[in-house]
Amino acid sequence: MPPLCTVGYSISVGSLTYFIGSSYLFLINVFFICLATIVGFYIMRVPMAEKIDPVTHKKNVRRIVLYSILMTIPSLFFAVGLIHQEVENKTQVAAGTSQVTNTTFDVESITKQLQVIAPKVENVKIGYLTTWDKSSSQQRQTLEVVVTSSSALDDDQKSLIKRLLKVQLSYDNISFMEQSIN
């Protein structure tokens, strides 16, 4: 998804984290596209519209280098964080430990998205259900989703909700509950 579309999406679901990340990605794209254009023109020796004195040219080159460094520094921190996370995940898989406990869900954002599809949706609960499998003598975890609505959802709405959640979560079971207001 293009970064500017992600900015709009993050505004619509009210996610500040997505908004900041996608805005930064958009700024990086714009900046480095402009930088690549400047370098391309310089390599192709495209003549400038007007001559710039050497002092101003030197200042401009310094600014471009400084801005490039400033735009790149946050990216390096993100990259190092992702590398550490990936190494940790690989270590957990090699050790045979479960990654389930490290998983979190943005339930508020998911609820807002489902309310766009079905305004009757009031609440979404997502969690892991741990059961004992007698045949294998092991614990088994399944991802369960419970969607609560103010009145019954029709089959089309349920189907759309299931498809949306399947894209975002790899759930094992989904339940729809109608909440009666007394």
Q: Domain coordinates of the chain in residue numbers?
A: 3-95, 100-178
Supply angle C-alpha 141, 107, 76, rounded to 5: 95
The pLDDT, as a whole number, for residue 30 is: 92
Which helix (H) or strand (E) is 148 found in, with range?
strand 138-149
Q: What is the C-alpha to C-alpha distance for residues 129 and 140, in angstroms, rounded to an integer?
A: 8
Specify whether domain 100-178 bears CATH 1.10.101. Answer: no
C-alpha distances (whole Å) from 75 to each of 45, 72, 96 are: 31, 5, 31
Digit-coded pLDDT (tens) for 110-168: 888 888 888 888 888 887 777 777 777 777 777 888 888 888 888 888 888 888 888 77
pTM above 0.75, yes or no: no
Residue 12 CA to residue 109 CA, distance in Å, equals 9
